[in-house]
């Protein structure tokens, strides 16, 4: 049978896959919520003329921290899934 060599989705793989999808969506939303700080492609086309208010607020720092935490969880899920698939094969 041709389907016998396809690895089955085990419970840990399913859990890590669900967490990966959720963290991917949340990470994309958090990155989009960040305020532009210039220095990117917008500066290349003249969009970096806006003035900054100096310093960052508590909400921006918390958003930075949350983005880093979600990014680390996202990366850990990718590594865990890679290891699980490698061990299963």
Above 60 in pLDDT, residue 43? no
pLDDT digits (tens, 9 = 90+) for 23-35: 999 999 999 988 7
Above 60 in pLDDT, residue 11? yes
Q: What three-state secondary structure class fits 14?
A: helix
Average pLDDT of 30-49?
66
Q: Which pLDDT value is given to residue 74?
A: 97
Grade residue 9 by pLDDT with cuts at 50, 70 and 90. confident
Q: Is the dihedral of CA 18, 23, 26, 27 positive or negative?
A: negative
Claim: this prediction has a pTM higher than 0.75: no
């Amino acid at each position: 049978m041709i389907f016998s060599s396809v690895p089955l989705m085990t419970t840990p793989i399913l859990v890590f896959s669900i967490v990966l999808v959720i963290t991917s969506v949340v990470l994309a939303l958090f990155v989009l919520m960040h305020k532009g700080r210039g220095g990117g492609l917008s500066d290349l086309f003249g969009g970096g003329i806006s003035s900054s208010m100096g310093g960052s607020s508590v909400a921006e720092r918390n958003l930075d921290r949350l983005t880093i935490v979600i990014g680390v969880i996202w990366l850990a899920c990718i590594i865990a899934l890679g290891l699980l698939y490698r061990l299963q094969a």
